[in-house]
Structure 1
Amino acid sequence: MARSATRSFTAELARALPDRPFAVELWDGTRLDPTTGDGGGPVFRLRGPDALAHVLRAPGQLGVGRAYVSGALEVDDLDAVLELLNGWKPAPIDGREQLRLGALAARAVGLRRPPRRPVSELRPRGRRHSVERDARAVRHHYDVSNDFFALFLDASMTYSCAVFSRGATTLEEAQHAKREMVCTKLGLQPGERVLDVGCGWGSFAIHAAREHGARVVGITLSEPQARLARERVAQAGVGDRVEIRVMDYRAIDDGPFDVIASIGMVEHVGNVQIDAYAQQLHRLLRPGGRLLNHGIARLRHTDPEAGPFSERYVFPDAAPLHLSRVLHALERAGFEPHHVEDLRHDYAQTLSHWIANLDGRLDEAVQLAGAERVRVWRLYLRAARNGFRSGFTSIFQVRASRP
């Protein structure tokens, strides 16, 4: 009876998707072959009834994401899946067909308890972009473990877009080029007081202090990140010029600063807070001071801020805004923009290095973060690269000043 149910489901799926450049294999050996191309394409393997049960419980991206993260759904080639999603446009499935598919999927699943959500899923509570909720969201992403990030980042632990377009050939060279480019754009001078918003593991703060003689305050919401950043500051011999704090940007009250660098943090701010973010940076900067805001932005105004997979597993509450929205907030706060540069292709190349590094150390990654998190990160890094390659997202550096 169980085999009959899975066959009925795959037969109905075949009718609903007559042109399909992929294969589907069910846990009992039932298979749906591709109908287009050369018979190749990615293979989706449903390891057990929980794969369908997740989708029945949360139809769409979230249910498929849960099935994948839990291991109930496997794919043989993540890159091929993303390429498929870029180009394949299935015929629409009407409501009746959807009901038939759902009923047959439920029959194939049988009577069973709904599967548990993966433990790595976060459902944020409280007011969106409150200080408390933002702290939980950021920790969900960054507190996997410092050692996990070290598996795929370069030796400087720089977790933002590297710059290859200035001639760098290695990830280390490209990250150094990015940090130096930021300092050059800001015209950083010895003795100037710098605020590093979203300082990560301290790579920019160390660079600005060691190479340019700046005095830097770096802030992060991740305590494990801050601990390692402080160790790295001490090892670099700049402990007298760099202070690392665990602090929300809204809580800083000891300005003014001569320079503010916000590198890879504005994506976490969101549309409801972007004006307050710009106003706070303006308050913290002295008249004549300089700002560099570096962040991911959406390119198309028809696309949503983020999908449910990213919301629950990668960057809860993160919302890459359009460049025009960020500029509008900066101008309303009183900043004068001077220069904008996009680094879309640089970030795609950066992500290719991170993907290769992580894939080369998967066993260590699973030991450090667990199989669920590794599945999330392997998909997330590729999806992010796909966004930059396809023109869904870009990344912009905006240089501005407070007149």
Structure 2
Amino acid sequence: MPADARPLEAPLPDTARRRWVAELLDRAGIHINGDSPWDIRLHDPAALDRVLAEGNLGLGEAYMAGLWDCTALDMFFERVLRAHLDREVHPARLAWHALQARLTNRQSRRRAWQVGKAHYDLGNGFYAAMLDPRMAYSCAFWQDGAHDLAQAQEAKLELVCRKLGLRPGMRVLDIGCGWGSFMGYAAERHGVHCIGVTVSREQANYARERYAGLPLEFRLQDYRDLDAAALGGPVDRIVSIGMFEHVGRRNHRAFMRVAHRCLRDDGLFLLHTIGKNQRDATVDPWIDKYIFPNGDLPALGQIGDALDGLFVCEDLHNFGADYDPTLMAWHANFEAAWPRFADGLGETFHRMWRYYLLSCAGAFRARDLQLWQWVLSKDGVPGGWRRPEQVGVRG
């Protein structure tokens, strides 16, 4: 708790509006200044006013400021979302934010680079401390009995390779390649050649240095600039892991057209993306402001609309529940490494990042968010595509 936070057990103000918040939380089994790990400890009553005025934006900013605490934020958010309490608070001042997400292109070419600078360029050392040895920053696959994060991430990468049917000598395009985890794994284990694009300078520099001896090319480039000619001809396979969340609903169709023009007629495209349950759900204002600028999670139907007439959906696999242990592993790594970064980043960042990781873990545990892997072909695989056996996918 920050030094200037008010003492624990501050009395709950006796106002009708604040009593309503307490009653709302009680529906989820959450109590103010209670003893359970998911209960909130109120240090300043103003935190409740922030929630009423600004919803999750106010809740998150109040936590960052040390106005309230919770022993287990992941459990708190799981209960809040299981009880659908987020649907009960509708701050008027956030209406403009929701309208912008619907009516404007917040993921334009110019704005697309903002998330790279604000989030992914935080520092390769920071992410190396939080992630697995391959630096995979997307949902791991724990359902094959992985015992730790490194095994679960390799299981995910191997599952992707098998779904794509990779063979030595194939050419693969990775849209949103991150620090090169998939490309490095696919080249090492399956003998493919890869081209990857990212909007993060830090990611591109790291990947070029780490994988200098492999047939991999890393480009600092917006996906909209991709075409078959620039790739040296259509590629055999396309993969996009954890990038589509930055594309935005107004650009979904353009993204799919890019993939279509870059892929061979008999190729396969695997799309790995977080998804939301409701098409009309608004962008989370706290996540948008502090973590992923201009992010916009797709709904199932929005992806379906974007595919129309371009791709056949061969397979749709949901393993969103696996994001919960992935995020909890990242959080454990982050907290263990925090003393190395505390002086440079400060306590407000510490609380912000903890809130980010644990609130997302709670959301996936509550099944409020999903993780989908789509396998797509241009005209349908002759005789049908078959999902590979998931036995021994750890490689």
Partner of residue 316, structure 1:
293
State the alpha-carbon separation in 2 of the partners of residues 199 and 365 from structure 1: 26
Q: Secondary structure at the match of 1:131?
A: coil
Whether 2:159 is the aligned partner of 1:181: answer: yes
Once the two structures are TM-superposed, the CA of residue 202 in structure 1 deviates from its matched residue by 0.6
Q: What is the aligned counterpart of 2:312 among 330, 336, 344?
A: 336
Distance 1:143 1:83, change over 3 A: same
Answering whether residue 63 of structure 2 is matched by residue 68 of structure 1, we say yes
Distance 1:127 1:399 in 2: 27
What's the TM-score once normalised by structure 1's chain length?
0.77
Q: Hey, what does 2:221 align to over in structure 1? A: 247
Q: Percent identity?
A: 37
2:100 corresponds in structure 1 to none
Report if the CA contact (8 A) 2:247-2:296 is conserved.
yes
Tell me, what secondary structure is at the counterpart of 2:325?
A: helix
> What letter corresponds to residue 46 of structure 1 in structure 2?
H
Q: How much does 1:75 deviate?
A: 3.8
Give the deviation of 1:206 after TM superposition: 0.7
Distance 2:276 2:69 in 1: 29
Q: Which residue of 2 aligns with 1:272?
A: 250
Q: What's the secondary structure of 1:44's corresponding residue?
A: strand
In structure 2, list runs of 5 or more residues that go unmatched.
1-5, 92-103, 380-395
Which residue does 1:326 correspond to in 2? 303
| Matched residue, 1:357 | 333
CA contact (8 A) 1:154 1:171 kept: yes
SS of 2:268's equivalent in the other structure is: strand
**Letter paired with 2:145:** G
Point out which structure has higher relative CO (alpha carbons under 8 A, 6+ apart): 2
> 1:1-400 maps to which residues of 2 (within 5 A)?
10-12=13-15, 15-16=19-20, 19=23, 20=26, 42-46=39-43, 59-86=54-81, 127-234=105-212, 237-238=213-214, 241-253=215-227, 254-255=230-231, 256-301=234-279, 304-332=281-309, 334-400=310-376
Give the Cα–Cα distance (whole angstroms) in 2 for the partners of residues 211 and 76 of structure 1.
42
2:78–2:363 contact (8 Å) kept in structure 1: no
**Are residues 325 and 367 of structure 1, via their aligned partners in 2, closer, same or farther at CA, if it must alter by over 3 Å?**
same
Contact 2:106 2:248 in 1 (8 A): no
Instruction: For 1:375, give the aligned amino acid.
Output: R
Q: Take 1:380 and 1:348, find their aligned partners in 2: how far apart are those partners? A: 13
Query: How far apart, in 1, do the equivalents of 2:88 and 2:194 lie?
Result: 56
Q: Which amino acid aligns with 2:15?
A: E
Tell me, in whole angstroms, the C-alpha distance in 1 between the residues paired with 2:44 and 2:123.
Answer: 29
Unaligned runs of 5+ in 1: 25-32, 99-125
Q: CA deviation at 1:356?
A: 1.8
1:319 partner SS: coil
The Cα shift of 1:197 comes to 0.8
State the SS of the aligned residue for 1:372. Answer: helix
Shift in Å, 1:266: 0.7
Contact 1:22 1:40 in 2 (8 A): no
Aligned residues: 351
- Taking the aligned partners of 1:22 and 1:264, their CA distance within structure 2 comes to 32
The CA distance in 2 between the partners of 1:18 and 1:335, in whole Å, is 49
